[in-house]
């Protein structure tokens, strides 16, 4: 019991003393998650909106594909990317393996299906609710798009936050393509796995506290935005 208390105490000291190694890992985690989320939103938000608002050949296949990708094991994504980015792979000449770029690509592959699928569901729901009203007002296509996107803004932000939470909790794919290299590709989740296996529980627990805090913060934002969305729908 005393040893456990000491571990928690040392973990909190690492956090509040702004340990440089700890800060480096946290900042790299946030950087990789930010860029992977950014690229996923640039690709996923328009595609999800297109799947919701348009009827075209192959639409059903794309919806099925992205829904299926939601349950894809991260380690399998990491394995496929490892083969592609390895020296003998088709993109081996780019030398991206064991770099933050490879980790961003891996997280992009895992986050995008979430962004696409959730965006499609949100836009479809809003479109169904507003369809008759917009038709009666004889709104143009441009006006329909602006109205739907504006009224779904809080829900879309919730989709983005869901993607952020997924990226921060990822470990399987990024440890394969990133290699968990100190001062290069070591992020919070991979560092927790490594330090726990080495018996350095203070660092592992400290990073765990940070992840829990970020998770609570994200869930709080999702709750607030959901309440805003409900309130906006009644106004």
- What's the pLDDT at 32? 95
Which position has the higher pLDDT, 225 or 66? Answer: 66
**What is the greatest pairwise CA distance in the chain?**
72
- Express each pLDDT in 179-228 by its tens digit: 999 889 999 999 998 888 888 888 889 999 999 998 888 888 878 877 77
Model confidence, pTM: 0.87
Q: Distance between CA atoms of 125 and 226, rounded to whole angstroms? A: 15
Domains delineated in the chain: 2-234 (1.10.3720.10)
Predicted confidence (pLDDT) at residue 233 exceeds the cutoff of 70:
no
Predicted confidence (pLDDT) at residue 72 exceeds the cutoff of 90:
no
Q: Is the dihedral of CA 8, 10, 13, 17 positive or negative?
A: negative
Please enumerate in sequence order all residues whose Cβ is within 8 A of that of 180, keeping only pairs 6 or more positions apart, or say none: 186, 190, 191, 193, 194
Predicted confidence (pLDDT) at residue 234 exceeds the cutoff of 70:
no
* DSSP category for residue 80: H
- Express each pLDDT in 157-169 by its tens digit: 888 888 988 888 8
Contact 210, 191 (CB under 8 A): no
- Structural tokens at position 226: 């959901």
* pLDDT band with cut points at 50, 70 and 90 for residue 108: very high
- What's the pLDDT at 229? 67
Which position has the higher pLDDT, 228 or 19? Answer: 19
Q: Distance between CA atoms of 25 and 130, rounded to whole angstroms? A: 46
Q: Which residue from 13, 26, 12 is spatially nearest to 189, judged by alpha carbons?
A: 26
* pLDDT band with cut points at 50, 70 and 90 for residue 82: very high
């Amino acid at each position: 019991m005393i040893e456990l208390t000491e571990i928690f105490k040392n973990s909190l000291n690492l956090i509040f003393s702004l340990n440089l190694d700890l800060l480096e890992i946290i900042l790299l985690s946030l950087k990789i998650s930010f860029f992977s989320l950014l690229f996923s939103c640039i690709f996923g938000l328009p595609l999800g909106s297109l799947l919701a608002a348009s009827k075209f050949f192959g639409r059903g296949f794309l919806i099925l594909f992205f829904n299926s990708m939601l349950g894809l094991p991260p380690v399998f994504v990491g394995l496929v990317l490892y083969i592609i980015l390895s020296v003998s792979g088709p993109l081996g000449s780019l030398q991206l393996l064991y770099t933050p770029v490879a980790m961003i690509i891996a997280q992009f592959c895992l986050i995008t299906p979430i962004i696409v699928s959730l965006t499609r569901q949100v836009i479809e729901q809003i479109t169904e609710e507003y369809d008759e009203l917009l038709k009666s007002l004889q709104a143009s296509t441009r006006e329909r798009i602006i109205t739907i996107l504006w009224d779904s803004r809080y829900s879309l932000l919730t989709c983005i936050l869901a993607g952020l939470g997924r990226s921060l909790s990822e470990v399987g794919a990024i440890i394969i393509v990133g290699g968990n290299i100190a001062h290069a590709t070591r992020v919070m989740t991979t560092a927790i796995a490594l330090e726990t296996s080495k018996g350095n529980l203070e660092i592992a627990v400290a990073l765990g506290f940070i992840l829990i805090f970020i998770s609570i913060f994200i869930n709080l934002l999702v709750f607030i935005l959901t309440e805003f969305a409900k309130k906006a729908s009644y106004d």
